[in-house]
Amino acid sequence: MNDIAIRTSGLGKRYRQKWALRGCDIEVPAGRVVGLVGPNGAGKSTLMNLAVGLLAPTEGTLEVLGREVRANTVLHRVAYIDQEHTMYRNFTVREMVKTGRKLNARWDDRIAFDRLAELNIPLDSRIGALSGGQRAQVALAVALAKEPELLILDEPVASLDPLARRELMSVLMEAKADSGCTVVLSSHVVSELERLCDYLIVLDRGQVKLADDIDDLLEQHHLLVGPAAAAADVAGVVHREDRGDRVSLLVRGDRPAPGSPWDVQHVDLETLVMHYLSAAAPTRLREVAA
């Protein structure tokens, strides 16, 4: 198995005059659970659609599981679930599984039927008659029956209630443990990603702002609170919030030496992501205004 699940170099996608993704350089290690985050319009869905061959890049290169996607030699090893959990709504659950069997060279009925039985989802029910949570579970069961080495999910829980969201993520993590496949999922619920993912990619305005192991990122960053007068001497500042004569700094680098004026606070994943995106927000607003 290739050590890198997704590798991009100078990857870009343009729609007419607007670049949805540009200069994207990432390496996603195989076997990880990757959280892809960023504001609307950041390029998350574009990157995922490129990775599964639904779009062709305007520039740069993209390899999935060691093969260039344009060659169309690797997509049978990849499964994809979009935001709408798209399936034939007039099909029964059983017919969706049968269709998957006909359309995919790699397929195991047992994987789909066992998971559907565990979830008590009737095989003779129409897809359109199922709840949102049940449709999501059917989409996941069908995707897993493909026995993918790479599973890509674009906002899989966005339309689900909290209980259905928890159930879907539980099944996803169980499947990950069973198969060892690489999982890439985008989500606006950053706190949920901290519980599920071990690798993070932050996109903003079509460019990569962060891409690394989550534990390493949290270890590398610190939140410093102290006198504003001392901020000029601090290196590696990612984000700054002024509070009168006090200041809060998100810093990437070593912790301050003992005896410094700084109160060093722990950074959680949500704070880290929000501060990186906030740091880019003024630029984003200037671009919109222009």
The CA distance from 230 to 258, in Å, is 15
Say yes or no to pLDDT of 288 above 70: no
**Count of Cβ atoms closer than 10 Å to residue 164 Cβ:** 18
pLDDT greater at residue 283 or residue 97: 97
Unique residue bearing structure tokens 């912790």? 255
Cβ neighbours of residue 253 under 8 Å, at least 6 residues apart?
220, 222, 235, 236
Say yes or no to pLDDT of 248 above 80: yes
Say yes or no to pLDDT of 31 above 50: yes
Q: Which of 210, 217, 140, 211 has the alpha carbon at shortest distance from 181?
A: 140
CA angle 15, 17, 20 (to 5 degrees): 45
Say yes or no to pLDDT of 287 above 50: no
Query: What is the topology classification, in CATH, of domain 4-204?
Result: Rossmann fold (3.40.50)
pTM (global) more than 0.85: yes
Decide if 133 contacts 161 (C-beta within 8 A).
yes
Amino acid identity, position 204: D
Helix, strand, or coil here: 74? coil
pLDDT greater at residue 138 or residue 175: 138
**Count of Cβ atoms closer than 10 Å to residue 233 Cβ:** 9
**What are the residue ranges spanned by the domains of the chain?**
4-204, 216-289
The number of helix segments (H) and strand segments (E) in the chain equals 8, 14
Per-residue pLDDT tens digits for 208-242: 999 999 999 999 999 999 999 999 999 999 999 99
What confidence score (pLDDT) does residue 286 get? 40
